[in-house]
Amino acid sequence: MFDSFAPTNTFFALAATCIVLAFYFWQKNKKSSGTSNTWGKKSNTPILNSFTVDFTQREQEGELDPVIGRQKEIDRVTQILARRTKNNPILLGPPGVGKTAIVEGLALKIITGDVPEVLQNKRVLSLQVAEILAGTKYRGEFEERARKLVNEIAQSNRDIILFVDEIHTLIEQKGTEGSINFTDILKPSLARGQLQLIGATTLKEYDEFIKPDASLERRFQVVDIKEPNKADTLAILKGVQKNYEEYHNVLFTDAALKAAVDLSEKYIKGRVLPDKAIDVIDEAAAKVKVEQGSTKHALDLLNKAATQVKHDHKHLPTRIEKLQTKLEELKKKEKATQGNAALKNIRKHIVETVKAIEHCESRLSMLRGRPIVDVIHIKEVVRAWTGKKI
């Protein structure tokens, strides 16, 4: 009797398992598809679309540089954002230390789903303060624009995190003389939890502009952003290396990256890592590209002078072939020629032809590959910036 129920029980068990698995994968696909359509401009946020940059969308499209060596700071920001109250981080650090990069790193974590559930599918929007102020000639025009922006965030079902770099400037941003402060518009929404904000500024400007406003200061949780050490900076350079190589169409040697860190740290004062080291490799790559263009012109002139014929560098393979044919002919003449004066003249032409071939082959190799940015180029940039002998 009981045996007759065994197949039925097995069938129901298998069916239940299939239903559970189907529900699991449906939820997973739903979350994935929802994520892929979450970021980007929304039809119901025209002010935000006009005056912010969507870091999550740019990260999804691969437009932002990778963030290296800032996991501790990103985790701290994530932890503050996940709080129920006082969930607005403010990043304090000198210019160029990488405050914006940390927010970009947060955007990447949101894209990959590596954040608490409360932060999943959120948009990280960077406010362009100068743009929202631009063109506001008449009294109340700026305030109206600012209120609309805050209202769009408040009506977004808490799916927006607003990032304001140099947040201290908001205290001074007024549409017309006597109009209210931008932060006066932000504070009510911050107090009600309708607006979640990440600020960034220096310690000096925080003490001067933010700290005196107690009602604003208590809305934030401070995250100190320290200058990375040389090892971390080198890791950061290696992280962004590919982007700069592709942009400039060059290749960096490992020694060049290390030199950029060491020399910028030693000689470039008044700035911090990693910003100054990144600027050094950027300019060194640009320098190599400019010199490559100059070398191209010089080689063209050399070829014209040597052959009395105009040749475009695009025809280098043909040029090399002709020079090699000429070289073979000169060698045959050398064997058949008698007399020191005549031999001396032919051998002179042979040497010139060999040099011309070497120049063309070198240029062709450069055209087929990528020019190299090495330590010498890094030194030249640092020397030009500082005026010091490196």
SS3 content of the chain, % helix, strand, coil (to 5): 65, 10, 25
> In whole angstroms, what is the distance from residue 244 CA to residue 72 CA?
26
Other beta carbons less than 10 A from residue 96's beta carbon: 17
Range with the lowest mean pLDDT among 119-133, 158-172, 287-301, 348-362? 287-301
More confident residue, 318 or 43: 318
Give 334's pLDDT tier (boundaries 50, 70, 90).
confident
- pLDDT of 315 above 50: yes
Residue 180 DSSP code? P
Residue-wise pLDDT for 24-39, tens only, equals 555 445 444 444 445 6
Give 307's pLDDT tier (boundaries 50, 70, 90).
very low
Residue 291 is predicted with a pLDDT of 85
More confident residue, 360 or 277: 277
CATH entry 3.40.50.300 includes domain 46-224: yes
Sketch the domain layout of the chain as residue ranges: 2-36, 46-224, 231-386
Average pLDDT over residues 365-370: 64
Residue 212 is predicted with a pLDDT of 94
- pLDDT of 297 above 80: no
> In whole angstroms, what is the distance from residue 295 CA to residue 360 CA?
12
- pLDDT of 226 above 70: yes
- Distance in angstroms between the alpha carbons of the first and the last residue of the chain: 95
> In whole angstroms, what is the distance from residue 99 CA to residue 89 CA?
11
**Beta pairing partners, 88:** 220
Query: For 258-295, b where at least 16 C-beta lie within 10 A, e where not — what string?
Result: bbbbbbbbebbeebbbbbbbbbbbbbbbbbbeeebeeb
Residue-wise pLDDT for 120-156, tens only, equals 999 999 999 889 888 877 768 888 999 999 999 999 9
Residue 70 CB-half CA count within 13 A: 31
Other beta carbons less than 10 A from residue 203's beta carbon: 14
Give 176's pLDDT tier (boundaries 50, 70, 90).
very low
Specify the fold of 231-386.
Helicase, Ruva Protein; domain 3 (1.10.8)
> In whole angstroms, what is the distance from residue 267 CA to residue 168 CA?
30
Range with the lowest mean pLDDT among 32-46, 59-73, 299-313? 299-313
Residue 177 is predicted with a pLDDT of 52
Closest to 384 (Cα-Cα) out of 253, 268, 272: 268
pTM of the complete model: 0.72
Residue 343 is predicted with a pLDDT of 83
Average pLDDT over residues 86-105: 97
> In whole angstroms, what is the distance from residue 175 CA to residue 153 CA?
21
> In whole angstroms, what is the distance from residue 205 CA to residue 212 CA?
11
Percentage of residues in the chain with pLDDT exceeding 70? 79
- pLDDT of 314 above 70: no
